[in-house]
């Protein structure tokens, strides 16, 4: 069974899509950009700051969904500023510093992202005990 979820810790979607979907043991997050949860405004400061905000928003939603970093199976990073990927990677590695098993990851350079963002990340979590 597929179930759509809109955790209050994540920015509200501006268009018709589900921010999070569960499907059996999988929890899939739609691509997230660095929006402030309260104002819906994109944070400033470039790719590193945007990545930190995305990961902060994700971290805030994970407890309600009973997810841990160890459940993160895969992440896909999209950026319009691949030349500054070191800043993205620095934020990523700081967030995963204690991870026993880092997730699979794909990084893609793109021409544009929603609302002028320089980083968008989607996440796929897997929990064996969450079969429906």
Query: Domain holding 24: CATH number?
Result: 3.30.1330.40
- β-bridge mates for residue 4, sequence order: 21
pLDDT given for residue 130 in this prediction = 62
Could you list the residue range(s) of the whole structural domain that residue 112 is in? 2-126
pLDDT (0 to 100) of residue 65: 95
Q: Is residue 75 part of a domain?
A: yes
pTM of the model: 0.95
Kindly state whether residue 62 falls inside one of the protein's structural domains: yes
Residue 22, SS3 per DSSP: strand
131 within domain boundaries? no
Structure tokens at 61: 């939603």
Q: Which residue has the tokens 């949860």?
A: 37
User: For position 13, what pLDDT does the model report?
Assistant: 87
Q: Given this model, what pLDDT does residue 131 score?
A: 52
- Domain count within the chain: 1
Tell me, yes or no, whether 132 lies in a domain.
no
Identify the pLDDT of residue 88: 98
Predicted pLDDT of residue 47:
98
Rg (CA), the chain: 14
Low-confidence ranges of the chain (pLDDT < 70): 130-132
What backbone phi and psi angles, to 5 degrees, belong to 107?
A: -125, 130
């Amino acid at each position: 069974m597929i179930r759509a979820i809109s955790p209050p810790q994540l920015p509200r979607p501006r268009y018709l899509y589900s921010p999070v979907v569960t499907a059996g043991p999988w929890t899939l997050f739609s691509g997230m950009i660095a929006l402030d949860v309260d104002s819906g405004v994109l944070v400033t400061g470039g790719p590193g700051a945007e990545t930190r905000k995305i990961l902060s928003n994700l971290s805030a939603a994970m407890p309600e969904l009973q997810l841990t970093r160890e459940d993160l199976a895969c992440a896909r990073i999209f950026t319009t500023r691949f030349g500054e990927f070191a800043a993205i990677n620095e934020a990523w590695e700081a967030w995963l510093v204690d991870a026993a098993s880092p997730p699979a990851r794909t990084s893609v350079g793109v021409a544009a992202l929603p609302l002028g963002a320089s980083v968008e990340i989607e996440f796929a979590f897997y929990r064996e005990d969450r079969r429906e």
